[in-house]
Amino acid sequence: MQPVKVYADRRSQPSRAVIIFCRVNQIDFEEVTVDLFKSQHLTPEFKKVNPMGQVPAIVDGRFKLFESHAILRYLASVFPGVADHWYPADLFTRAKIESILDWHHTNLRRGAATLVQHTALAPFLGLTTSPEAVEQAEKLLMQSLGVIESLWLKGDAKFLLGNPQPSIADLSLVCEIMQLEILGDEVCDRFLGAHEKILIWMDNVRKTTSPHFEEAHELLFQVKARMLQSKAAASNQAFEPSTKLKIASKL
């Protein structure tokens, strides 16, 4: 039996979700780093693994798969040692989890990922940003956080849907939100500060997947530290206070 190959860059939030899932469930896997900053996802070799040129992707024997949710579903179904709560066999509980996973794509992910791309990453990758896009993304992100809290974390729910244990939806959504870290503590607090239930829930997910959760996020915090340094350097070089203010409010 060959281990499952997981092609991932730990700077990508769905990559982290898949890695944490594998570790927590003791799946026999081999992590293959695809460095996005070095454009390794665009090489012909990687396109053979995933024609979309995106991480994460897996190769299990001759079976190839991309899209993180599909990967999580597959791993949970194919490895019998994965506890049922991750992707419940019960059709009704499962359907509710599917609904959250689908919602994630067009709401939380769209909000959070667009925001990070247009603020934190764009200046470093030389992408052009659009204030309208940022504004829309911020609005969508805020709305999405509100929905999670009011709909799926009702009462004193420990995990989404009031489940006593986490599912792949908990893991995927929490990893999505975790990426806000690289926007800096100030921005992070602006989004999460008013959502106490989300903070508690995120901590519950972290605890149940510890120490793999922290380990998978190490690189994120390194990137965050580097970004803060370059921001501080850029800030010192700036002359006009108005520019400073703009950077502070954007990042």
Binding site for other proteins (CB under 8 A): 1, 51-52, 60-63, 65-70, 73-74, 77-81, 83-84, 88-96, 98-99, 101-103, 105-106, 109-110, 130, 132, 147, 150-151, 162
Closest approach of other proteins to the CB of residue 202, in Å:
22
Closest approach of other proteins to the CB of residue 225, in Å:
30
**DSSP 8-state class, residue 63:** E
Which residue lies nearer to other proteins by CB, 53 or 234?
53
**Cα gap 251→118, rounded to integer Å:** 10
Q: Quick one: which of 20, 101, 19 has its CA closest to 55?
A: 19
Which residue lies nearer to other proteins by CB, 119 or 187?
119
Which residue lies nearer to other proteins by CB, 81 or 211?
81
Give backbone dihedrals phi and psi of 63, rounded to 5 degrees, phi first: -95, 120
Closest approach of other proteins to the CB of residue 24, in Å:
15
Q: CB of 173 within 8 A of CB of 108?
A: yes
**Cα gap 76→79, rounded to integer Å:** 6
Which residue lies nearer to other proteins by CB, 34 or 65?
65
Strands 4-8 and 29-33: parallel
Closest approach of other proteins to the CB of residue 209, in Å:
18
Residue 185's Cα: distance from chain center in Å?
17
